[in-house]
Amino acid sequence: MTEVTANSDEESPEAREKREAQIQESVLLDRARLGDLEAYEELMRNIQPRIYSLLYNMCSHKEDAEDLLQEVFLKAWQSLPKFQGKSSFYTWVYRIAVNRAINFVKKRKRRQGYSLDDVDLGMERDPALVEMAGTQTPLRDSYLKELQEKLNTALQTLSEKHRSVVIMHDIQGMPHHEIAEILNVSPGTVRSRLFYARQLLQPLLSDLRKSPDET
């Protein structure tokens, strides 16, 4: 008993927070499996921003991303009784989202045209794009639109499997092993796809981080 207490005292705040979050997720999952819709919605609320960011960057259109988000949530709810917990709930839902997005992009031609509202919403939900936008300037509106259009256009030149890896790693900051688990491939395959995609994107995005004041 003394040894367990000592180990508990040595637990870092980050580790304690992670453990408590896992316990809370487990409790919510148990409730959701029994048909508790409120518990399921709470689970989804925690991961919705990142799921939306993936879908938005995959399909490059706000309305399509929102429709896909609803499809992902419905699919996960319907499949919840089959979820065996071999991976985390987040990884499982993310895998559903990636598959939905890839199928959507394959079957439907990418829509043309962007609005400033679409750009700002995408920026707001994707912290990586906020960082790239820099501080506000008189040219902010035109710059944000140009930045998002360049990113969207460049991403659309990639195959779906390469695009998804770039979004998850370079935009959302996921580690290789987590992406590998989601895509059901090896970490080496993730690294290979990422390297190849970056080679293709580099000439297209060479001036993406340049601020409007530097032009």
- Ordered by where they begin, the domains of the chain are 12-112 (1.10.1740.10)
> Which of the four pLDDT bands, split at 50, 70 and 90, describes residue 113?
very low
pLDDT at 14: 73
Taking CA atoms, 177 is separated from 102, 142, 186, in Å, by 20, 37, 8
Question: What does pTM read for this prediction?
Answer: 0.69
pLDDT of amino acid 170: 84
Q: What is the pLDDT of residue 182?
A: 92
**pLDDT band, residue 132 (cuts 50/70/90):** very low
pLDDT for residue 89 is more than 80: yes
Average of per-residue pLDDT values in the chain: 76
pLDDT of residue 207: 61
Residue with tokens 């979004």: 167
φ/ψ region of 173 (left if φ > 0, alpha if ψ in -120 to 50, else beta) reads: left
